[in-house]
Homo-oligomer: A and B are copies of this chain.
Amino acid sequence: MHFTIDTNKFVTSVQHANRAVTSRTTIPILTGIKISATTEGITLIGSDSDISIETYIPYSDEEREYMTVHEEGEMVLQAKYFSEIVRKMPGETLTLKKDGQMAATIESDSVIFNLNGYDPENYPRLPQLEEDHVIQLPQHLLKDIIRQTVFAVSTQETRPVLTGVHFEIKDGKLTATATDSHRLAMRTIGVEAEETLEINNVIIPGKSLVELSRILDDAENMITIVVTSTQVLFKMENLLFFSRLLDGKFPLTSNMIPSEGKTSMTVSTKALIRSLERAMLLSREAKNNVIHLRSNGPKEIEISSVSAEVGKVKESLSTSDFDGEELQIAFNGKNISDALKVIDSENISILFTGAMSPFVVRPIDHEQMIHLFSPVRTY
Protein backbone atom coordinates (compact mmCIF):
# COMPACT_ATOMS: atom_id res chain seq x y z
CA MET A 1 0.00 0.00 0.00
CA HIS A 2 1.31 3.44 -0.93
CA PHE A 3 -0.64 6.65 -1.43
CA THR A 4 -0.40 10.43 -1.17
CA ILE A 5 -3.53 12.26 -0.01
CA ASP A 6 -4.87 15.69 0.89
CA THR A 7 -4.10 16.04 4.62
CA ASN A 8 -7.32 17.81 5.70
CA LYS A 9 -9.57 15.41 3.83
CA PHE A 10 -7.74 12.46 5.36
CA VAL A 11 -7.78 13.89 8.89
CA THR A 12 -11.59 14.40 8.88
CA SER A 13 -12.12 10.84 7.72
CA VAL A 14 -9.69 9.37 10.26
CA GLN A 15 -11.32 11.34 13.13
CA HIS A 16 -14.73 9.95 12.18
CA ALA A 17 -13.51 6.33 12.07
CA ASN A 18 -11.62 6.93 15.33
CA ARG A 19 -14.90 7.75 17.13
CA ALA A 20 -15.70 4.04 17.24
CA VAL A 21 -12.32 3.04 18.67
CA THR A 22 -11.77 2.72 22.41
CA SER A 23 -8.60 1.84 24.27
CA ARG A 24 -10.66 -0.17 26.77
CA THR A 25 -11.26 -3.03 24.34
CA THR A 26 -10.01 -6.53 25.18
CA ILE A 27 -9.33 -7.31 21.49
CA PRO A 28 -5.95 -5.68 20.70
CA ILE A 29 -6.52 -5.26 16.95
CA LEU A 30 -9.61 -3.13 17.66
CA THR A 31 -7.30 -0.44 19.06
CA GLY A 32 -6.33 0.02 15.42
CA ILE A 33 -7.88 1.72 12.40
CA LYS A 34 -8.04 -0.35 9.22
CA ILE A 35 -6.95 1.51 6.09
CA SER A 36 -7.71 0.09 2.64
CA ALA A 37 -6.48 1.83 -0.51
CA THR A 38 -7.69 1.13 -4.05
CA THR A 39 -7.33 3.28 -7.14
CA GLU A 40 -10.97 4.33 -6.60
CA GLY A 41 -10.54 5.61 -3.06
CA ILE A 42 -9.55 4.98 0.51
CA THR A 43 -11.66 3.28 3.19
CA LEU A 44 -11.09 3.63 6.94
CA ILE A 45 -12.71 1.44 9.58
CA GLY A 46 -12.81 1.81 13.35
CA SER A 47 -14.74 -0.44 15.72
CA ASP A 48 -15.21 -1.35 19.37
CA SER A 49 -17.32 -4.39 18.36
CA ASP A 50 -20.52 -2.61 19.56
CA ILE A 51 -20.14 0.30 17.14
CA SER A 52 -18.29 0.21 13.81
CA ILE A 53 -17.70 3.23 11.60
CA GLU A 54 -16.56 2.99 7.98
CA THR A 55 -15.59 6.17 6.18
CA TYR A 56 -14.73 6.47 2.52
CA ILE A 57 -12.71 9.08 0.64
CA PRO A 58 -13.39 8.79 -3.10
CA TYR A 59 -10.45 9.38 -5.43
CA SER A 60 -12.09 12.62 -6.58
CA ASP A 61 -15.33 14.59 -6.52
CA GLU A 62 -16.75 17.43 -8.67
CA GLU A 63 -14.30 19.85 -7.11
CA ARG A 64 -10.96 18.09 -7.41
CA GLU A 65 -8.76 15.01 -7.01
CA TYR A 66 -7.74 14.17 -3.45
CA MET A 67 -5.12 11.44 -3.80
CA THR A 68 -2.59 9.50 -5.83
CA VAL A 69 -2.66 5.77 -5.10
CA HIS A 70 0.71 4.31 -6.11
CA GLU A 71 -0.07 0.86 -4.81
CA GLU A 72 -3.26 -0.72 -3.52
CA GLY A 73 -3.37 -2.61 -0.22
CA GLU A 74 -4.49 -2.56 3.39
CA MET A 75 -3.06 -1.99 6.87
CA VAL A 76 -4.12 -1.64 10.49
CA LEU A 77 -2.43 1.16 12.46
CA GLN A 78 -2.86 2.04 16.16
CA ALA A 79 -5.74 4.49 16.20
CA LYS A 80 -4.59 6.58 19.13
CA TYR A 81 -1.23 7.46 17.59
CA PHE A 82 -2.30 7.40 13.97
CA SER A 83 -5.17 9.88 14.44
CA GLU A 84 -2.98 12.33 16.34
CA ILE A 85 -0.06 11.98 13.95
CA VAL A 86 -2.10 12.81 10.84
CA ARG A 87 -3.72 15.73 12.65
CA LYS A 88 -0.33 17.22 13.50
CA MET A 89 1.21 16.79 10.05
CA PRO A 90 2.54 20.09 8.69
CA GLY A 91 2.06 19.69 4.92
CA GLU A 92 -0.97 20.02 2.63
CA THR A 93 -0.52 16.38 1.63
CA LEU A 94 0.81 13.33 3.41
CA THR A 95 2.16 10.04 2.07
CA LEU A 96 1.43 6.70 3.70
CA LYS A 97 3.48 3.70 2.65
CA LYS A 98 3.50 0.11 3.82
CA ASP A 99 6.90 -0.71 5.18
CA GLY A 100 7.13 -4.43 5.95
CA GLN A 101 4.07 -6.52 6.79
CA MET A 102 2.86 -4.57 9.78
CA ALA A 103 4.52 -1.16 9.75
CA ALA A 104 4.02 2.08 7.83
CA THR A 105 5.95 5.21 6.98
CA ILE A 106 3.92 8.43 7.12
CA GLU A 107 5.62 11.47 5.60
CA SER A 108 4.62 15.10 5.27
CA ASP A 109 7.10 17.89 4.43
CA SER A 110 10.28 17.07 6.37
CA VAL A 111 8.50 14.88 8.95
CA ILE A 112 8.85 11.08 8.81
CA PHE A 113 6.96 8.77 11.18
CA ASN A 114 7.55 5.01 11.30
CA LEU A 115 4.54 3.42 12.94
CA ASN A 116 3.96 -0.20 13.97
CA GLY A 117 0.61 -1.81 13.29
CA TYR A 118 -1.30 -5.08 13.17
CA ASP A 119 -1.85 -7.71 10.48
CA PRO A 120 -4.90 -6.50 8.49
CA GLU A 121 -5.85 -10.15 7.82
CA ASN A 122 -6.92 -10.37 11.47
CA TYR A 123 -9.23 -7.34 11.45
CA PRO A 124 -12.86 -8.47 11.89
CA ARG A 125 -15.15 -8.09 8.87
CA LEU A 126 -18.06 -5.67 9.06
CA PRO A 127 -21.50 -7.31 8.99
CA GLN A 128 -23.29 -7.52 5.64
CA LEU A 129 -26.87 -6.44 6.34
CA GLU A 130 -29.96 -7.54 4.42
CA GLU A 131 -31.67 -4.32 3.33
CA ASP A 132 -35.25 -5.53 3.89
CA HIS A 133 -36.20 -2.95 6.49
CA VAL A 134 -35.15 0.49 5.37
CA ILE A 135 -36.29 3.97 6.36
CA GLN A 136 -35.12 7.46 5.49
CA LEU A 137 -34.95 10.59 7.60
CA PRO A 138 -33.36 14.04 7.38
CA GLN A 139 -30.19 14.04 9.51
CA HIS A 140 -31.26 16.98 11.66
CA LEU A 141 -34.49 15.18 12.58
CA LEU A 142 -32.64 12.03 13.65
CA LYS A 143 -30.35 14.26 15.69
CA ASP A 144 -33.41 15.81 17.37
CA ILE A 145 -34.94 12.42 18.13
CA ILE A 146 -31.73 11.24 19.76
CA ARG A 147 -31.30 14.43 21.79
CA GLN A 148 -34.90 14.32 22.95
CA THR A 149 -34.86 10.71 24.18
CA VAL A 150 -31.35 9.44 24.92
CA PHE A 151 -30.93 11.45 28.14
CA ALA A 152 -33.65 9.29 29.71
CA VAL A 153 -31.97 5.91 29.22
CA SER A 154 -30.88 4.01 32.30
CA THR A 155 -27.22 4.15 33.26
CA GLN A 156 -27.49 0.96 35.29
CA GLU A 157 -26.74 -2.42 33.77
CA THR A 158 -29.26 -4.25 35.97
CA ARG A 159 -31.86 -4.10 33.18
CA PRO A 160 -29.76 -3.88 30.01
CA VAL A 161 -32.69 -3.14 27.65
CA LEU A 162 -33.29 0.13 29.50
CA THR A 163 -29.80 1.40 28.53
CA GLY A 164 -31.10 1.68 24.96
CA VAL A 165 -33.67 3.71 23.05
CA HIS A 166 -36.58 1.69 21.67
CA PHE A 167 -37.57 2.35 18.04
CA GLU A 168 -40.91 1.32 16.63
CA ILE A 169 -42.44 1.98 13.19
CA LYS A 170 -46.14 1.54 12.61
CA ASP A 171 -48.61 3.26 10.28
CA GLY A 172 -45.86 5.42 8.77
CA LYS A 173 -44.87 6.75 12.19
CA LEU A 174 -41.60 6.32 14.03
CA THR A 175 -41.77 6.32 17.83
CA ALA A 176 -38.57 6.49 19.89
CA THR A 177 -38.85 5.75 23.60
CA ALA A 178 -36.36 5.75 26.45
CA THR A 179 -36.98 5.06 30.11
CA ASP A 180 -34.97 4.33 33.24
CA SER A 181 -38.21 3.24 34.99
CA HIS A 182 -38.47 6.55 36.92
CA ARG A 183 -38.99 8.72 33.85
CA LEU A 184 -39.89 8.15 30.24
CA ALA A 185 -39.25 10.24 27.12
CA MET A 186 -41.14 9.52 23.91
CA ARG A 187 -40.83 11.24 20.53
CA THR A 188 -42.95 10.50 17.44
CA ILE A 189 -42.47 11.59 13.81
CA GLY A 190 -43.74 10.64 10.38
CA VAL A 191 -41.17 8.78 8.23
CA GLU A 192 -40.61 7.90 4.60
CA ALA A 193 -40.81 4.13 4.32
CA GLU A 194 -42.85 1.47 2.61
CA GLU A 195 -46.42 1.70 3.87
CA THR A 196 -46.48 -1.85 5.06
CA LEU A 197 -43.20 -1.55 6.96
CA GLU A 198 -43.53 -2.44 10.62
CA ILE A 199 -40.57 -2.45 12.95
CA ASN A 200 -40.86 -3.29 16.61
CA ASN A 201 -38.59 -3.94 19.59
CA VAL A 202 -35.51 -2.41 17.95
CA ILE A 203 -33.40 -1.26 20.92
CA ILE A 204 -30.32 0.80 20.03
CA PRO A 205 -27.74 1.30 22.82
CA GLY A 206 -27.82 4.86 24.14
CA LYS A 207 -24.03 5.01 23.85
CA SER A 208 -24.21 4.26 20.11
CA LEU A 209 -26.77 7.00 19.58
CA VAL A 210 -24.67 9.54 21.45
CA GLU A 211 -21.68 8.75 19.18
CA LEU A 212 -23.86 8.82 16.07
CA SER A 213 -25.29 12.15 17.11
CA ARG A 214 -21.78 13.67 17.21
CA ILE A 215 -21.31 12.73 13.55
CA LEU A 216 -24.76 13.85 12.33
CA ASP A 217 -24.98 17.40 11.09
CA ASP A 218 -27.86 19.83 11.32
CA ALA A 219 -28.51 19.73 7.58
CA GLU A 220 -31.48 18.48 5.59
CA ASN A 221 -29.36 15.63 4.06
CA MET A 222 -31.17 12.35 4.23
CA ILE A 223 -29.86 9.43 6.24
CA THR A 224 -30.85 5.84 5.45
CA ILE A 225 -31.44 3.44 8.32
CA VAL A 226 -31.24 -0.31 7.73
CA VAL A 227 -32.57 -2.56 10.48
CA THR A 228 -31.99 -6.30 10.98
CA SER A 229 -32.68 -8.47 13.99
CA THR A 230 -29.25 -7.89 15.57
CA GLN A 231 -27.78 -4.80 13.87
CA VAL A 232 -28.70 -1.33 12.71
CA LEU A 233 -26.85 0.58 10.00
CA PHE A 234 -26.99 4.35 9.47
CA LYS A 235 -25.89 5.27 5.94
CA MET A 236 -24.66 8.77 5.20
CA GLU A 237 -22.62 10.11 2.31
CA ASN A 238 -19.25 8.32 2.49
CA LEU A 239 -19.92 7.13 6.04
CA LEU A 240 -21.50 3.94 7.42
CA PHE A 241 -22.32 3.69 11.11
CA PHE A 242 -23.10 0.18 12.43
CA SER A 243 -24.39 -0.56 15.90
CA ARG A 244 -25.41 -3.82 17.49
CA LEU A 245 -28.93 -3.90 18.94
CA LEU A 246 -29.74 -4.76 22.55
CA ASP A 247 -31.21 -8.19 23.21
CA GLY A 248 -34.41 -8.53 25.21
CA LYS A 249 -37.93 -7.20 25.36
CA PHE A 250 -38.49 -3.48 25.93
CA PRO A 251 -41.31 -2.81 28.43
CA LEU A 252 -44.67 -2.01 26.87
CA THR A 253 -44.89 1.75 27.38
CA SER A 254 -47.85 2.90 25.30
CA ASN A 255 -50.41 1.96 27.96
CA MET A 256 -48.41 3.70 30.72
CA ILE A 257 -49.37 7.18 29.55
CA PRO A 258 -52.44 8.35 31.45
CA SER A 259 -54.99 10.11 29.25
CA GLU A 260 -57.02 11.63 32.08
CA GLY A 261 -55.92 13.20 35.32
CA LYS A 262 -56.95 15.10 38.42
CA THR A 263 -55.10 18.37 37.88
CA SER A 264 -53.76 20.02 34.74
CA MET A 265 -51.99 23.33 34.10
CA THR A 266 -49.78 25.25 31.69
CA VAL A 267 -46.38 26.67 32.75
CA SER A 268 -43.54 28.56 31.01
CA THR A 269 -40.82 26.02 30.12
CA LYS A 270 -37.90 28.36 30.85
CA ALA A 271 -39.35 29.76 34.06
CA LEU A 272 -39.86 26.23 35.41
CA ILE A 273 -36.30 25.16 34.42
CA ARG A 274 -34.82 28.15 36.29
CA SER A 275 -37.02 27.59 39.29
CA LEU A 276 -36.01 23.90 39.48
CA GLU A 277 -32.34 24.81 39.16
CA ARG A 278 -32.58 27.15 42.13
CA ALA A 279 -34.48 24.58 44.19
CA MET A 280 -31.90 21.90 43.32
CA LEU A 281 -29.09 24.04 44.75
CA LEU A 282 -30.27 22.82 48.15
CA SER A 283 -31.57 19.34 47.34
CA ARG A 284 -28.74 18.23 45.04
CA GLU A 285 -26.51 16.31 47.39
CA ALA A 286 -28.28 15.00 50.44
CA LYS A 287 -31.79 14.71 49.11
CA ASN A 288 -31.51 13.15 45.65
CA ASN A 289 -32.93 16.29 44.00
CA VAL A 290 -36.30 16.08 45.73
CA ILE A 291 -38.40 19.13 44.86
CA HIS A 292 -41.88 19.92 46.13
CA LEU A 293 -44.65 21.43 44.02
CA ARG A 294 -47.88 22.75 45.51
CA SER A 295 -50.75 24.47 43.73
CA ASN A 296 -51.82 27.73 45.27
CA GLY A 297 -55.18 28.54 43.68
CA PRO A 298 -55.66 28.52 39.91
CA LYS A 299 -53.00 31.12 39.04
CA GLU A 300 -49.91 30.03 40.96
CA ILE A 301 -47.77 27.08 41.99
CA GLU A 302 -45.11 27.03 44.69
CA ILE A 303 -41.79 25.25 44.09
CA SER A 304 -39.76 24.48 47.21
CA SER A 305 -36.98 22.34 48.65
CA VAL A 306 -35.30 21.85 51.99
CA SER A 307 -31.89 20.78 53.24
CA ALA A 308 -31.68 20.32 56.99
CA GLU A 309 -28.04 21.50 57.10
CA VAL A 310 -28.07 24.25 54.50
CA GLY A 311 -31.49 25.88 54.53
CA LYS A 312 -34.62 26.07 52.38
CA VAL A 313 -36.03 27.82 49.35
CA LYS A 314 -39.50 28.54 48.01
CA GLU A 315 -40.78 30.56 45.11
CA SER A 316 -44.03 31.04 43.25
CA LEU A 317 -44.54 30.56 39.54
CA SER A 318 -47.56 31.70 37.57
CA THR A 319 -49.66 29.11 35.75
CA SER A 320 -52.54 29.28 33.30
CA ASP A 321 -55.30 26.93 32.13
CA PHE A 322 -55.45 25.45 35.61
CA ASP A 323 -58.07 22.72 35.82
CA GLY A 324 -59.01 20.26 38.58
CA GLU A 325 -58.11 19.70 42.21
CA GLU A 326 -55.53 21.44 44.39
CA LEU A 327 -52.32 19.42 44.42
CA GLN A 328 -49.19 18.70 46.44
CA ILE A 329 -46.49 16.44 44.98
CA ALA A 330 -42.74 15.75 45.21
CA PHE A 331 -40.43 14.61 42.38
CA ASN A 332 -36.82 14.32 41.23
CA GLY A 333 -36.14 17.84 39.95
CA LYS A 334 -33.19 16.76 37.78
CA ASN A 335 -35.40 14.36 35.80
CA ILE A 336 -37.95 17.09 35.05
CA SER A 337 -35.30 19.66 34.24
CA ASP A 338 -33.51 17.22 31.82
CA ALA A 339 -36.78 16.77 29.96
CA LEU A 340 -37.71 20.46 29.90
CA LYS A 341 -34.33 21.23 28.30
CA VAL A 342 -35.15 19.16 25.20
CA ILE A 343 -38.66 20.61 24.78
CA ASP A 344 -38.61 23.26 22.07
CA SER A 345 -41.95 24.77 23.04
CA GLU A 346 -42.30 27.99 25.03
CA ASN A 347 -44.93 26.51 27.33
CA ILE A 348 -45.66 23.02 28.59
CA SER A 349 -48.77 21.38 29.93
CA ILE A 350 -48.59 19.12 32.97
CA LEU A 351 -51.20 16.51 33.75
CA PHE A 352 -51.18 15.16 37.32
CA THR A 353 -53.07 11.99 38.22
CA GLY A 354 -52.57 12.23 41.98
CA ALA A 355 -49.76 12.74 44.50
CA MET A 356 -48.60 9.12 44.22
CA SER A 357 -49.20 8.45 40.50
CA PRO A 358 -47.14 9.25 37.39
CA PHE A 359 -47.59 12.66 35.73
CA VAL A 360 -47.24 13.75 32.13
CA VAL A 361 -45.40 16.74 30.64
CA ARG A 362 -46.04 17.74 27.01
CA PRO A 363 -45.08 20.68 24.84
CA ILE A 364 -48.00 23.01 24.07
CA ASP A 365 -47.05 23.54 20.40
CA HIS A 366 -47.29 19.97 19.10
CA GLU A 367 -48.21 16.42 20.05
CA GLN A 368 -45.02 14.64 19.00
CA MET A 369 -43.48 14.44 22.43
CA ILE A 370 -44.48 13.01 25.81
CA HIS A 371 -42.54 12.87 29.07
CA LEU A 372 -43.71 10.75 31.97
CA PHE A 373 -42.42 10.91 35.56
CA SER A 374 -42.90 8.99 38.78
CA PRO A 375 -43.38 11.13 41.87
CA VAL A 376 -41.19 10.61 44.94
CA ARG A 377 -42.53 9.58 48.33
CA THR A 378 -41.39 12.03 50.97
CA TYR A 379 -42.77 10.42 54.12
Contacts and interface: CB of A to CB of B under 8 A. Distances in A.
Interface string A93-114: 0000000000100000111111
Contacts of A90: 274
A3 B109 CA distance: 67
Given A81-B282, A282-B81, A314 B112 contact: yes
A88 interface: yes
Given A310-B115, A311-B115, A316 B278 contact: no
B85 A278 contact: yes
Nearest to A85: B281
Given A88-B278, A274-B90, A278-B88, A310 B81 contact: yes
Interface in A313-329: 313-317
A18 interface: no
A309 interface: yes
A347 to B, nearest CB: 18
Q: How many copies does the complex hold?
A: 2
A31 to B, nearest CB: 11
Contacts of A309: 116
Most central of A109, A116, A278, A316 by chain B CB within 10 Å: A278
B278 A312 contact: no
Contact of A313 (B78, B113, B315): B113
Contacts of A113: 278, 282, 311-313
Interface string A65-103: 000000000000010010011001010000000000001
A75 to B, nearest CB: 13
A52 B109 CA distance: 52
A364 to B, nearest CB: 22
Contacts of A110: 315-317
A111 B278 contact: yes
Contacts of A180: none
A277 interface: yes
Contact of A281 (B81, B281, B312, B315): B81
Given A78-B310, A111-B315, 15 more contacts: A81-B281, A81-B282, A84-B281, A88-B274, A90-B274, A103-B311, A111-B275, A111-B314, A113-B278, A113-B282, A113-B312, A114-B311, A114-B312, A116-B309, A116-B311
